[in-house]
Structure 1
Amino acid sequence: MSRQLLPVLLLLLLRASCPWGQEQGARSPSEEPPEEEIPKEDGILVLSRHTLGLALREHPALLVEFYAPWCGHCQALAPEYSKAAAVLAAESTVVTLAKVDGPAQRELAEEFGVTEYPTLKFFRNGNRTHPEEYTGPRDAEGIAEWLRRRVGPSAMRLEDEAAAQALIGGRDLVVIGFFQDALDITFGLTDRPRLFEQFGLTKDTVVLFKKFDEGRADFPVDEELGLDVGDLSRFLVTHSMRLVTEFNSQTSAKIFAARILNHLLLFVNQTLAAHRELLAGFGEAAPRFRGQVLFVVVDVAADNEHVLQYFGLKAEAAPTLRLVNLETTKKYAPVDGGPVTAASITAFCHAVLNGQVKPYLLSQEIPPGWDQRPVKTLVGKNFEQVAFDETKNVFVKFYAPWCTHCKEMAPAWEALAEKYQDHEDIIIAELDATANELEAFVVHGFPTLKYFPAGPGRKVIEYKSTRDLETFSKFLDNGGVLPMEEPPEEPAAPFPEPPANSTMESKEEL
């Protein structure tokens, strides 16, 4: 095998501990001198704007959780985070866990682009400018394992079958490079003919071993073209996922990090035997769509109401299928609504992928008296008619019922509507974007404010300034333009799980 392939494999597969190409030791001029003591709670460093730099200098590997005290997800993560810290300390692993109160330390949250809670970032060797986003599980062992892979030995050389089997048996996912011309480097590789024979190989191959589904997946190295980084990356991402994954708080991050854009969801009630029997057919259909469609099971009897809301479903609709493309956010439902079998699932996936099924848009029914209050109520079915009325200037708030920021600005929005209710050419309206979808555009965060000026051309102006009555009024009085644009008072966070008691509303998880 060409020696040029090995550095590529190391970089891609083994995430070597040296952060190549990263600026070292970046410091903030506002940091306190190093003798300042950093407080701890339950084995976790409690950081502030003044002590983050000190922590980065003292700890070469630092995982930082940005949390909000009233965030339900943060509260659920807290005991697991502390357990992970204890596990790593007992192992003498050279990594430290820390946390930052995001709302109290707003400057730090803004510096690192934190838009939802909890957010975890991993810092290496004092590098403040390029932390790695944590994408692992939210349980103690998952956190510890994610960190071990980044700070432990990159890999090991395998000399015999016993060493290979020990490596495979020690983890749920193991990647071994089988190379006939191996260099003496520190990662899982072998050039032993006996091992090639033992694992049924005749050429250079990267093998992914796993303790689920088919047990292993092979990526042969092209003898002429060598190792293609993009192809290998896609192979590892695709084959490290289970063919069928159940959606829950532990798997959601991995599901959305899989880089597979099409997700097929089977909604079942796992307390019912008849529903559980459908899982076999679901799994039977999955292999032929590996890499194209991620198969996910959603238990409607579990805490997954937010997923049902995102698809406009009630628990009584189970068993049923829905397919969503994460890039376009378009949703698809089976046309016939027949039984859920391997054959019907296969046919449905093929129909969607071949463009034979039209996506559906969620819409509530137009409520009686929708235009009688100062704030008009829009839904998917009347949005186009109202927003793009060429005789009206329409200012719309797109909100989520559970969004804290939306609730906080509601009084100002009501006051604005009352102020302009006698202006025949101005309409102040609102639309629940969790229950209504629009063909014209996708709403990515809450609250989102858009102004639709009168006249032809279906013009849309996004409002991004302060959310108070005075600024709203200036915006309207100037025809959708402010004399001096100000930064938004609160960021509209990305979108669909409503985080319990979180300060920032996120659509990141289904």
Structure 2
Amino acid sequence: MEATQFRYPLLLLLLTCGLAPEVVAEVEESSGDPSAAQEPVQLTDVPAAMEFIAAVEVAIIGFFQDLEIPIVSVFHSMVQQFPDVSFGISNDSEVLAHYNVSGNAISLFRLVDNEQLKLEGEEIENMDATKLSRFIMSNSLRFVTEYNPMVMLGLFNAMVEIHLLLMMNKASPEYEESMRHYQEAAKLFRGKVLFVLVDSGVKENGNVISYFRLKMSQLPALAIYRTLDDKWDTLPIAEVTVDQVQNFCDGFLKGKLHKSEEKTPKEEL
């Protein structure tokens, strides 16, 4: 897979060390309604492929020389498992050449950081439904991505090193309006900051909140984090507004912190 080499700071180890069988089971059991059969979009020329990729936040395209090889049926099965992801397929020689595919490949295109991840060669030959599901789930980053342990792997393997986390309860009355503002702000920082939602109503997300020394009584709150050096900052907020999110991100990018630099270090794991 053509992707940035993983960085392993403390936060990544904390949040992914519990990636247990139940996470894998969630991937394997995430298939949709078989009665609502869907197929990937046929991409017959280069303009169609370019338009397909540009129109969505996450696009996955199967580039195949031969549509009868085993991986093609595995690829088709993913359309049912991930109904919120756009799938395309092509065996057109000009399309394959345009995307530098000489054999068979599956590529994931992300709008949020203009990243293309590619599976090819031996990876395609040894690919099965479970492996392909994990690849899609962990790398399908959007303007706002909801946190789960599998997605966290993709976040730390992204081109963008700064992540902004909104920690709030999805069951709260303010959630929908807050998310609209948060998504609007996310588009202002495309390629600079990855925006993440952490649902504080999920018990397992407690270690994310405590890592940033926040209490439930302080939520909703923003936490911003740089993977390169573990530098971070937090800001409890009464409500989510575009201006507030933008100012917080701009401040961090300029080196301004709200939290005290003199606080005691976080506890070792």
Q: TM-score range by the shorter chain?
A: 0.5 to 0.7
In the alignment, is the contact (CA less than 8 A) between 1:331 and 1:361 conserved in 2?
no
Output the CA distance in 1 between the equivalents of 2:115 and 2:159: 20
Within a 5 Å distance, the mapping from 1:166-245 to structure 2 comes to 171=79, 172=85, 178=95, 185-187=102-104, 241-245=141-145
Q: Secondary structure at the match of 1:349?
A: helix
Amino acid at match of 2:162: N
| Matching residue of 1:308 | 209
Output the CA distance in 2 between the equivalents of 1:182 and 1:329: 35
| Matching residue of 1:357 | 257
Output the CA distance in 2 between the equivalents of 1:310 and 1:242: 24
Q: Secondary structure at the match of 2:148?
A: coil
1:253 and 2:253 aligned: no
1:139 and 2:40 aligned: no
Amino acid at match of 1:290: R
Which one has a larger percent helix, Structure 1 or Structure 2?
Answer: 2
| Matching residue of 2:177 | 277
Amino acid at match of 1:273: P
| Matching residue of 2:167 | 267
In the alignment, is the contact (CA less than 8 A) between 2:140 and 2:151 conserved in 1?
no
The structure showing larger relative contact order (alpha-carbon pairs under 8 Å, at least 6 residues apart) is 2
In the alignment, is the contact (CA less than 8 A) between 1:173 and 1:208 conserved in 2?
no
| Matching residue of 2:20 | 74
In the alignment, is the contact (CA less than 8 A) between 2:96 and 2:102 conserved in 1?
no
| Matching residue of 1:323 | 224
How many residue pairs match? The answer is 188
In the alignment, is the contact (CA less than 8 A) between 2:171 and 2:201 conserved in 1?
yes
Larger Rg: 1
Q: Secondary structure at the match of 1:286?
A: helix
In the alignment, is the contact (CA less than 8 A) between 2:211 and 2:266 conserved in 1?
no
Q: Secondary structure at the match of 1:356?
A: coil
| Matching residue of 1:296 | 196
CA 1:140 to 1:361, structure 2 compared with 1: closer, same or farther past 3 Å?
farther
Output the CA distance in 1 between the equivalents of 2:99 and 2:224: 44
TM-score by length of 2: 0.54
Q: Secondary structure at the match of 2:223?
A: strand
CA 1:271 to 1:318, structure 2 compared with 1: closer, same or farther past 3 Å?
same
Output the CA distance in 2 between the equivalents of 1:345 and 1:76: 34
5+ residue gaps, structure 2: 4-16, 31-41, 53-59, 63-74, 80-84, 117-138
TM-score by length of 1: 0.30
Q: Secondary structure at the match of 1:242?
A: coil
Q: Report sequence identity in percent.
A: 27
In the alignment, is the contact (CA less than 8 A) between 2:220 and 2:238 conserved in 1?
no
Amino acid at match of 2:185: A
Within a 5 Å distance, the mapping from 1:424-439 to structure 2 comes to 433-434=266-267
Output the CA distance in 1 between the equivalents of 2:168 and 2:101: 51
